[in-house]
Amino acid sequence: MKIQITTIFLVLLIITSCKKKQDEKIILLSELQNEKIYKNLDSLPKNLELVCRVDLSENDLTTIPEVIFKLPNLKELNLSVNNLTALNHLEELQNLEILNIGMNNFKTFPIEITKLKKLKTLDIWWNDIRTFPEEFYENNVNLEELDLTSMFKFDFKSNLSKIHRFKNLKQLNLGNNQIKNLNIEFENLSNLETFGYIRQDKIDTKSLILKLSKCKKLTTIHLSVNHIKELPSEISLLNNLEELNLYENELTNLPSNLLRMKRLKSITLDGNKIDKKIILDFENKMPKTTFIY
């Protein structure tokens, strides 16, 4: 009799377990934007398991509210533009995939981030963080997007040489930083799709394009406000490029090799000194490309 009861119990346990797995809500990162985002903690539903996205930006926070750690399925958390100096207990959010801590008061990299195994997007712009710990490169192997815009005290020389260790990296933003040596192993960033490098006082455009040509999946480049006087003919080496943003540079002409870029969908030239007739000529010859000027 005991054996029969035990067998029945095990069968019920398996059925319950299977049903629980079926009921779990699996959301792809690409689909996450369709989920509701909660900006007011008072509006959270009674069933906290339904909450996937929370935006607490611009709330003068000095600590993360306790209720956040009661959200087992939280995938996106925006803590930008606050007064945070630490991320105590953040590692409890093991389903977190998107984290924004831009424009806070961090002096050192929060070690809790290195314990978020599912993290795919990290925005840490405009903080006084000086470097990444080794654990970041070792543990956050699923990272796809990294925003280091306006990191004025950051040690780029030491860290950019390690960025290629994020094998899944698709988007990298380095804008508004005066980086003397862009020592990135672009040839090892085989999945890079978007590169942002705006507001540099001095930029060797030809050298940069030659480096970026090693990223075969690259589709988007942002090079706004870089004092670029000439777009080199080597631009055609980026044969998979779809979007090229050259807003507010010092261009007066365009290279004929631009015509070879058959996959280019848009090029932003607003704020340059190129004669409108030149742009119109390229427009006529590249009907599938949108020229913004």
| Rounded Cα distance, 264 and 260, in Å | 9
Domain assignment present for residue 150? The answer is: yes
| Rounded Cα distance, 267 and 247, in Å | 9
Whether residue 126 sits in one domain with residue 186: no
What does the pLDDT look like over 225-243, one tens digit per residue?
A: 999 999 999 999 999 999 9
pLDDT at 27: 59
Whether residue 271 sits in one domain with residue 223: yes
Q: Is the pTM of this model over 0.75?
A: yes
- What's the average model confidence in pLDDT over 113-129? 98
Whether residue 194 sits in one domain with residue 138: no
Read off the tokens for 267.
Answer: 């090029």
The band of 33, judged by pLDDT with boundaries at 50, 70 and 90, is: confident
Helix H or strand E segment including 284? helix 276-285
Whether residue 264 sits in one domain with residue 199: yes
User: Could you tell me which residues come within 8 angstroms of residue 31 by beta carbon, excluding any fewer than 6 positions away?
Assistant: none
Alpha carbon separation from 178 to 117, 211, 249 (Å, rounded):
31, 18, 17
pLDDT at 26: 54
Domain assignment present for residue 65? The answer is: yes
Place of tokens 């005991």: 2
User: Could you tell me which residues come within 8 angstroms of residue 275 by beta carbon, excluding any fewer than 6 positions away?
Assistant: 252
Identify which of 91, 97, 100, 83 has the alpha carbon closest to the alpha carbon of residue 27.
97
Please say if the pLDDT value at position 68 is more than 80. yes
Whether residue 176 sits in one domain with residue 278: yes
Sheet holding 145-147: strands in order across? 37-38, 53-55, 76-78, 98-100, 121-123, 145-147, 171-173, 194-196, 220-222, 243-245, 266-268, 290-292
106, 124 Cβ separation under 8 angstroms: yes
Domain assignment present for residue 16? The answer is: no
Helix H or strand E segment including 77? strand 76-78
| Rounded Cα distance, 11 and 40, in Å | 43
Whether residue 49 sits in one domain with residue 115: yes
Question: Among 108, 124, 154, which residue terminates a domain?
Answer: 154
The band of 28, judged by pLDDT with boundaries at 50, 70 and 90, is: low
Identify which of 238, 252, 164 has the alpha carbon closest to the alpha carbon of residue 206.
238
Whether residue 124 sits in one domain with residue 227: no
Whether residue 183 sits in one domain with residue 256: yes
Q: Give the structural domain span for 230.
A: 172-293
| Rounded Cα distance, 51 and 192, in Å | 30
Which CATH number goes with the domain that contains 94? Answer: 3.80.10.10
Domain assignment present for residue 26? The answer is: no
For the chain, give the mean pLDDT: 92
pLDDT at 124: 98
pLDDT at 16: 40
Indicate the number of domains in the chain.
Answer: 2
Domain assignment present for residue 18? The answer is: no
Whether residue 249 sits in one domain with residue 223: yes
Domain assignment present for residue 10? The answer is: no
Domain assignment present for residue 185? The answer is: yes
Whether residue 179 sits in one domain with residue 92: no
Q: Which residues pair with 244 in a beta bridge?
A: 221, 267
| Rounded Cα distance, 59 and 100, in Å | 14
Question: Among 154, 187, 206, which residue terminates a domain?
Answer: 154
Whether residue 150 sits in one domain with residue 177: no
Whether residue 110 sits in one domain with residue 217: no
Domain assignment present for residue 24? The answer is: no
119, 142 Cβ separation under 8 angstroms: yes
